Structure 1
Amino acid sequence: MTAPTDDRAAVRDAALWIELLLRQFPELLHELAPARRSPSAPPPDGARPHAARGRTRAEREEALRVEQAHGLTPSGPTTAPLRLHVSDTIRDITDGVVELDEAVHDRLRLPRPRRAQVPERLLRVAALLGRASEDAVLAAHIRDETRRMARRCTRALGAAEPVVRVSGRCPWCDSVSLRAFPARHAVLCVNPACRCADRDCDCRTDPAHRHAWTQSAWVRLAEESGADLGELAGATADTAEREVHR
């Protein structure tokens, strides 16, 4: 593959990651706090109206920061706990998009971008992808950053990691349990009963352990499992299209 083709692929993937962010970031804002409970609904068992407590100082400060940054107030009653892992994700993506927007403009020698909300900044970056395709370093940076933020957004929303079934049998347990994980660029055996011959392997003591093969081990894995090497490479290809359009 030639360098120009690589650059075009990076820009194409970046556009797809931006598409995913534009779709999921608003959902993330709605997930910031639990939904408001109907006033007519009976209180939980054992709960008393006067026992409810307000938000902690940290939660109040976080709610104010989000309201100021995005022009909204997290939904739910004031006694509802703030979902801090979602709040952290919103902060990370917001900061990341601001930095990316400014970096793209700086690299292309454009005036510093004006302040804007996350969706507008993402659209601004997307509009500059054509010019960014002429700069291999910039194109790769946009792709990598938008991919990182999109995947974090997806995880915060509770979406499962993409998995691709591949042919062949696990060399250790002989099960048809080999799966490719594109986000990790690895192949894993998903059989929880799989045990290997290595006495020092964690599979003997950790029930959550899964045998994994990174790219350097795929040739041997294909030989020992009967899998097709080309299929392994294709299934583990880190492409935006697979994740955005699944």
Structure 2
Amino acid sequence: MAPDPHSAPNPLSASAPHPAPNPLSASAPHPAPDASEDAAAFVRDATLWAALLARQLPDLVKELAPSAGARPVSAPRAPGPAERAARAALLAVERAEALRNEQHHGLAVPGHGAAPIRLHVSDALRDIGDGVTELEEALFERLGHGRPRRTPVAERLTRIAALLGRTAADPTLARHARDELRRMARRCARALGETEEMVRLPGRCPWCDSVSLRVFPERDAVLCVNPGCRCADPACDCASDPAFRHLWERAEWDVTRDGGR
């Protein structure tokens, strides 16, 4: 007897189609975890960057209006009408910028209102203030806390630091927090002009084999300045941050130089 072409397929037959596994079922295969998504490392790094930014920010606020004694002394000269008008216009812009920083970000300008304002510092403060606010709002929303109340940037940073431990369950959020705090801390350091003279070191980098090693004498540390240097550690920032550079403290460098990494 010929089989009925309209009959339902036998679920036990070898030729019958098999349903796709339910991705939410307990027996469904799970993808292997990505080693780069190390949320604990992201949280640890984010905590360090948040602490660094919290220490640097008060110094940046002080740099916004330097004291009169810090300015170089020059011979007095009577400005002409055009120069006086230009100075007045620039002063108005700088005062308005300082007022916006104080009103929107809680960054009060120290000193007398007529003190000169460093615009690159003001830009950095505005960028950091906006970044801290946006990061806190993102953390509150993702963690189910609603919207944070408006407070000065320093207080927002304290709240962010207190929430970082809870981002360990969300690698994407933890990575975002780490990246933003790192970016803002580096922006703050650049605005403060925290630089140190480097001295070239003989030899080659143990990771990239280039003659790109430099020594920071004051910090007693060794740095590889090659932007393409990459190491074998998947948790290292060199894999995700183009601005990252490998740095060894003196004790660590002595071990590396002698054959260990």
TM-score of the two chains, using structure 2 as the length reference: 0.60
2:228 partner amino acid: T
Q: 1:165 to 1:139 in 2, by over 3 A?
A: farther
Residue 195 of structure 1 corresponds to none
Residue 73 of structure 1 corresponds to 109
Residue 158 of structure 2 corresponds to 123
Q: 1:235 to 1:151 in 2, by over 3 A?
A: closer
Alpha-carbon contact 2:136-2:148 (below 8 Å) kept? yes
- Please give the secondary structure, in 2, of the residue aligned with 1:133: helix
Alpha-carbon contact 1:180-1:236 (below 8 Å) kept? no
Residues 4-37 of structure 1 show CA distances to partners (whole Å, capped at 9, x for unaligned) of: 9821111001000000111010110000022134
2:203 partner amino acid: G
- Structure 2 distance, partners of 1:116, 1:9, is 29
Alpha-carbon contact 1:180-1:235 (below 8 Å) kept? no
User: Are 1:27 and 2:40 an aligned pair?
Assistant: no
- Structure 2 distance, partners of 1:162, 1:105, is 41
Q: Unmatched 5+ residue regions in structure 2?
A: 1-32, 217-222, 250-261
- Structure 2 distance, partners of 1:169, 1:213, is 14
- Structure 2 distance, partners of 1:235, 1:14, is 12
Deviation of 1:3 after TM superposition, in Å, equals: 4.1
Alpha-carbon contact 1:14-1:146 (below 8 Å) kept? yes
* Identical-pair percentage: 51
- Please give the secondary structure, in 1, of the residue aligned with 2:48: helix
Q: 1:161 to 1:136 in 2, by over 3 A?
A: farther
TM-score of the two chains, using structure 1 as the length reference: 0.63
Residues 157-189 of structure 1 show CA distances to partners (whole Å, capped at 9, x for unaligned) of: 01127979776259xxxx9663499xxxx944x
Deviation of 1:150 after TM superposition, in Å, equals: 0.2
Deviation of 1:75 after TM superposition, in Å, equals: 2.6
Structure 1 vs Structure 2 CA RMSD:
4.3
- Structure 2 distance, partners of 1:70, 1:17, is 21
Q: 1:150 to 1:162 in 2, by over 3 A?
A: farther
Alpha-carbon contact 2:53-2:185 (below 8 Å) kept? yes
- Please give the secondary structure, in 2, of the residue aligned with 1:56: helix
Residue 75 of structure 2 corresponds to 45
2:142 partner amino acid: R
Alpha-carbon contact 2:135-2:180 (below 8 Å) kept? yes
Q: Unmatched 5+ residue regions in structure 1?
A: 189-211, 219-228
User: Are 1:214 and 2:228 an aligned pair?
Assistant: yes
